[in-house]
Chain A
Amino acid sequence: MLKSWLTASTGLAALAALGCGLVSPTAAQAATTLSLVVADYGTGPADTSQKYWQTIADDFHAANPDITVKVQTINWNDFDTKVQTMVQNRQYPDITEGDYFSNYAQEGLLYKASDVFTDPDNLMPVFKTLGSYNGTQYGLPFTTSARALFYNKKIFADDGITTPPATWDEVAADAAKIQAKGKIGFGLPLGPEEAQAETLLWFLGNGGGYQDASGKWVINSPQNVETMEYMTKMVKAGDTEPNPGTKNRTDLFEQFGEGQIGMMNGEVALLPIISKANVLKPEDVGTAAIAGKTGAIDKTLGVCDFVAAFKGDGTKQAEIKKFLDFAYQDKYQLAFVNEYLELPGTTSAAVALAKTNATLAPFVKALPNAVQYPNDPSWAQVKTQIQQIIGTAIGPDPKSVLDTIQQTALKGS
């Protein structure tokens, strides 16, 4: 009895010693796991961003066996909410790729770009301000895009429209012609998915915007009210799909791809949806400058998605830097461009792209001129509210809706 107990205990001791022996060297090497939370740019399981990032994570792990990157993909509709919930619950991801909000920087949750990336100068300079808070850059541009008017050449030809519309009146007139033949004239996505982009494109057409040149919020400016009134008139006349406040961009783009919509504002990243629908050929789709009140707008909306690195407990800075330097190589940037038809986030990749891709080259050229979203800590709330209620500004009283959003902007966080 005693003997067996003894053997058992020595066995245990040996096991424990073995355990220590096994564990301690690796612990000294710090087998780090980085959690990477990314937005999904794909349209389904076949082209989910999970695959793109997993490839990078695997390559990186092969080069750095002591660091494992765990990839979590979240669809765009839920991305902001989920990341914010993680932050609210103090379960910080190490790295995010998607929307970036300066309030995270304001609260001191993020690493400076220069702390986690060796060559910040290679990041597209035009988006530097957007990724900055108080003059310091926190958001690293990862992928960018520029907006344009997309139109269905077939529908235009059938309805005798020869040139894409440049003014709002032309948009309305052309849309009415298309609508008369039973298709949707103009696709107007004011539903929660990306209403802040569509709204800004229309505001720009009338010399308006969310902020004026000095950074003051002007959401309920007379120009913007006038813009919403014009849009209301178009919706009432049936030039758009019914009830645009409930329609999301991806859904409308799918309808565009099925040949049901004459024209809508979009970005090249939506082209894969069209090819997936397999109804329109690439040559059926035309792009033009976005229409404005008196003429096409000379500036487009440039959108940039950022990488941000959260400090968490502050122990993983070196590993994050290693990974970001690895993931930002031109080959991965260009792989992303080819997969999703977005534009790159680094200058070196943009230069390489402009040389090789004739379709995307004009969009790359338009980027430095692009208008951007406000860089302001209350943008997160303003954006959420625009997404939720801007659709109700299509109606008898757009001013009161814009007033509400303006108040949110002034109230701050």
Chain B
Amino acid sequence: MGVLTAEQSVTTRVRRKAWSPAKLAPLLWVGPAMLLIAVVVLWPVVIMIRTAFQHISPDGFILGSAGWKNFVYLWQEPDLPGILIRTVIWVVSIVACTMLISLVLSQLFNQKFPGRRAARWALIAPWAASVMMTSIVFRWALDANNGVINVFLNDIGVLYGYNNNASDWLGRPGSAFTWMIIVAIFVSIPFSTYALLAGLQGIPSDIYEAAKVDGASPWRTYRSITLPLLRPAFIVALLINVMNVFNSFPIIWEMTRGGPGHRTSTTTTFMYQLKQSYIGESAAMSVVNFGMVVIIVLIYLRVTVWGKDEAS
């Protein structure tokens, strides 16, 4: 530790004075946003992780540290393996179907046809309507006693009678889960279709003209021009869908509440049900959910970076 000479200390002071305000200036603009993120995003994450390691009574009294016990209890839940598998099926099937259907629909809506404007508006409806409302409508429509879908299926002779096992769509875990997947696809389609439609409209028309001049077939044009140029829009829509579907709560809650038992629960609804009696264990489930979301985001970042490399 050398002693600073007067000259040195003056220069450091001067230098600091010279560039510290300039360095702090951006903070002035970014600061509020960072503070907001810290309070609204990071702090709850910290609390969540801390809660996962606490022993908490059902009424919210902290009874001390639980160590890893909450995670052990969670892992011992007999229904957990089924719930995890179901969550994967839930996300993969809904997102895959939604993206495929949206690719077709966006292509259709990109064509000029009479009534296109009205058709585009109509497509917004499932998106604009509250998901909860849509779910309740479907739950009623599937009612074993007098649901409109059952009435229709009886009229056309597919089903015979009401209040039997076949007409009780939401009572059997398998068919209930399938119907909820259908509802989830139904409400996810508008957003991804619009995202892809925007992407389609961003593709310059002269490229298509060039392809035409070169004599490329429509399928070839689609594969070599449309799909690659659609990739940014596709990936954004895909990621947002994965997140939305993974976190989806109202559809399952309104249609079956995860029942019978936990046989139509995903990790999101299961987390909520755990919270009623076991707050710590529910927080442990949240941590697991959070980990899964982080993994998805990391995969996304890799994919987008990889997309950029290839484009350049």
B259: interface (CB < 8 Å)? yes
Pairwise interchain contact B144-A242, C-beta atoms closer than 8 A: yes
Contact between chains at A391 and B259 (CB < 8 Å): yes
Nearest-CB residue, chain B, relative to A382: B277
**B130 in the interface, Cβ–Cβ < 8 Å?**
no
B304 on the A face (CB < 8 A): no
What residues on B are CB-neighbors of A89 within 8 Å?
A: 60
Residue B59 at the chain A interface, CB threshold 8 Å: yes
Stretch from A47-55, A68-76, A102-110, A334-342 forming part of the interface with B? A102-110
B60 near A81 with CB under 8 A, answer no
Q: A246, B260: Cβ atoms under 8 Å?
A: yes
Q: Is A413 an interface residue (CB 8 A)?
A: yes
A87 at interface (Cβ–Cβ under 8 A)? Answer: yes
| Residue in B closest to A183 when the chains form the complex, CB atoms | B163
| Interface flag for B54 (CB, 8 Å) | no
CB distance from B277 to the nearest CB of A (A): 4
* Measured CA separation A210–B77 after assembly (Å): 22
Interface flag for A184 (CB, 8 Å):
yes
User: How far does the alpha carbon of A280 sit from the alpha carbon of B168 in the complex, in Å?
Assistant: 25
Take A90-B60, A404-B78 as given contacts and tell me if A81 and B276 are in contact as well, using a CB distance cutoff of 8 Å. Answer: yes
Contact B61 A246, beta carbon cutoff 8 Å: no
A167 within 8 A of B: no
Residues from chain B with Cβ under 8 Å of A381 in the complex: 58, 277
A381 to B58, CA, bound (A): 8
Residues of B within 8 A of A392 (CB): 260-261, 263
Would B168 and A243 count as touching, CB distance under 8 A?
A: yes
* Contact flags A168-212 to B (C-beta < 8 A → 1, else 0): 000000000000001110000001100000000000000000000
The listed residue with most B CB atoms (<10 A of its CB), out of A87, A242, A391, is A242
Of the candidates A80, A182, A260, A392, the one having the most CB atoms from chain B within 10 angstroms of its own CB is A392
Contact residues, A221-265 vs B (CB, 8 A):
238, 241-243, 245-247, 255, 260
Selected from B57, B165, B176, B256, the residue in CB contact (under 8 A) with A413 is: B57
Of the candidates A103, A191, A260, A401, the one whose C-beta lies within 8 Å of that of B58 is: A103
- A residues near B168, Cβ cutoff 8 Å: 241-243, 246
Contact B59–A103 (Cβ < 8 Å): yes
Is B170's beta carbon under 8 Å from chain A?
yes
A393 nearest CB neighbor, chain B only: B261
Contacting residues, chain A, for B167 (C-beta < 8 A):
242
Q: Mark A113-140, 1 if CB is under 8 A from B, else 0.
A: 0000000000000000000000000000
Interface residues on B, range: 20 to 34
Query: CB distance B260 to A243 under 8 Å?
Result: yes
B170 pairs with A413, CB closer than 8 A: no
**Residue in chain A with minimal CB distance to B57:** A413
Closest to B273 in A: A388
A385 within 8 A of B: yes
Does residue A380 face the partner (Cβ distance < 8 Å to B)?
yes
A88 and B164 within 8 A (CB): no
Q: Is B161 close to A, CB under 8 A?
A: yes
Q: A260-B145, A404-B78 are in contact. Are A388 and B58 (CB under 8 A)?
A: no
Q: In this assembly, does B262 line the interface, its C-beta being within 8 Å of a C-beta of chain A?
A: yes
With A81-B276, A87-B60, A381-B58 known as contacts, the answer to whether A184 contacts B260 (CB < 8 A) is no
User: A389 contacts which chain B residues (CB < 8 A)?
Assistant: 260-262
Residue with the greatest number of chain B CB neighbours at <10 A, chosen from A88, A90, A104, A107: A88
Contact of B277 among A87, A184, A384 (CB under 8 A): A384
Whether A375 is near chain B, meaning CB under 8 Å from some CB there, is no
Residue-wise interface mask of B (147-174) relative to A, using a CB-CB cutoff of 8 A (1 in contact, 0 not): 0000000000000010111011011100
The distance in angstroms between the C-alpha atoms of A113 and B257, with both chains bound, is 36
What are the residues of chain A within 8 A of B161 when measuring CB–CB? 182
Q: State whether B262 touches A84 (Cβ < 8 A).
A: no
Contact A104 B171 (CB under 8 A): no
Nearest-Cβ distance from residue A240 to partner chain B, whole angstroms: 10
* A391-B261 in contact given A238-B164, A243-B168 (Cβ < 8 Å): yes
A88-B59 contact given A191-B259, A246-B171, A404-B78, CB 8 Å threshold: yes
Q: Which residue of A lies closest to B166 (CB)?
A: A242
Taking the complex as formed, is B279 at the interface, i.e. its CB lies under 8 A from any CB of chain A?
Answer: yes
> Contacts A84-B59, A247-B171, A388-B273 known; A255 to B145 CB distance under 8 Å?
yes
Task: Decide if A107 touches B61 in the complex (CB within 8 Å).
Answer: yes
List A contacts of B259 (CB < 8 A). Answer: 191-192, 245-246, 388, 391
Question: What residues of A have a CB within 8 angstroms of the CB of B78 in the complex?
Answer: 400, 404
Q: Across the two chains, which residue of chain B brings its CB closest to A192?
A: B257
| Closest residue on chain A to residue B56 by CB atoms | A88
Contacts of A391 in B (CB 8 A): 259-261
* Cβ-defined contact, B163 with A242, below 8 A: yes
A81–B59 CA distance with the chains assembled, in angstroms: 11
The answer to whether B256 and A246 touch across the interface, beta carbons within 8 angstroms, is yes
Assess the B59–A243 pair: CB atoms within 8 A: no
* Chain A residues near B164 (CB-CB < 8 A): 238, 242
Q: Check if A243 sits within 8 Å of B171, measured CB to CB.
A: yes
Interface flags, A396-413, vs B, CB<8A=1, else 0: 000011001000100001
26 chain-A/chain-B pairs, Cβ below 8 angstroms = A84-B59, A103-B58, A184-B163, A192-B257, A241-B163, A242-B168, A243-B168, A243-B171, A246-B259, A255-B145, A380-B277, A381-B58, A381-B277, A384-B276, A384-B277, A385-B277, A388-B258, A388-B259, A388-B261, A388-B273, A389-B260, A391-B261, A392-B260, A400-B78, A413-B57, A413-B58
B interface residues with partner A (beta carbon < 8 Å): 57-61, 78, 144-145, 161, 163-165, 167-168, 170-172, 176, 256-263, 273, 276-277, 279
Extra contacts besides A84-B276, A107-B57, A243-B168 (13): CB < 8 Å: A88-B59, A109-B59, A183-B163, A241-B144, A242-B163, A243-B171, A245-B261, A381-B58, A388-B258, A388-B262, A389-B260, A391-B260, A413-B58
CB-based closest 7 A-B pairs: A243-B171, A88-B60, A245-B260, A392-B261, A242-B168, A381-B277, A391-B260
